[in-house]
Amino acid sequence: MDCIFCQIAEHKLPANIVYEDDDVVAFHDINPQAPVHVLVIPRKKHIAKIADMTAEDQALVGKVIYIGKQVAEQLGIAEDGFRLVFNNGRHGGQHVYHIHLHVLGGRPMTWPPG
């Protein structure tokens, strides 16, 4: 599978990993948009985008969100607040088609998003 995030999940591509277990991997974004910018991905299942989720993926994606919260605590941004984002598809600004949760923090975020 020609997917860079599957390759990171399989340790075939390097990444600065902050957390991993059998289900998920969390690693620093290579082009950070905030002082803390981590991506959380499912490890064993390639789901291209949130729009492709099925009912059976609910627990896995729920865990991705839970680990996003855990990583925010681990990296010291939880108390001040942080942002969790799934970009979906072309208009959603998605570039890598393996679902990933952006965990952004360490500065105030603005709204509305660009």
Chain residues in the site for ligand AMP (CB under 6 A) = 4, 15, 29-31, 39, 87, 93-96
Identity of the residue, 23 or 29, whose beta carbon is nearer to ligand AMP in the bound complex:
29
Residue 96's binding partner, choosing from Zn ion, ligand AMP, none, with beta-carbon cut-off 5 to 8 A by kind? ligand AMP
How many angstroms separate the CA atoms of 72 and 68, rounded?
A: 6
Token reading at 50: 């949130």
CB of 76 to ligand AMP, least distance (A): 20
Q: With H, G, I as helix, E, B as strand and everything else as coil, classify residue 40.
A: strand
Residue 94's binding partner, choosing from Zn ion, ligand AMP, none, with beta-carbon cut-off 5 to 8 A by kind? ligand AMP
Helices (H) and strands (E) in the chain, counts: 2, 5
Q: With H, G, I as helix, E, B as strand and everything else as coil, classify residue 46.
A: coil
Identity of the residue, 30 or 59, whose beta carbon is nearer to ligand AMP in the bound complex:
30
How many angstroms separate the CA atoms of 96 and 110, rounded?
A: 23
Token reading at 1: 């599978």
CB of 96 to Zn ion, least distance (A): 8
Tell me the residue type at 83.
R
Residue 29's binding partner, choosing from Zn ion, ligand AMP, none, with beta-carbon cut-off 5 to 8 A by kind? ligand AMP
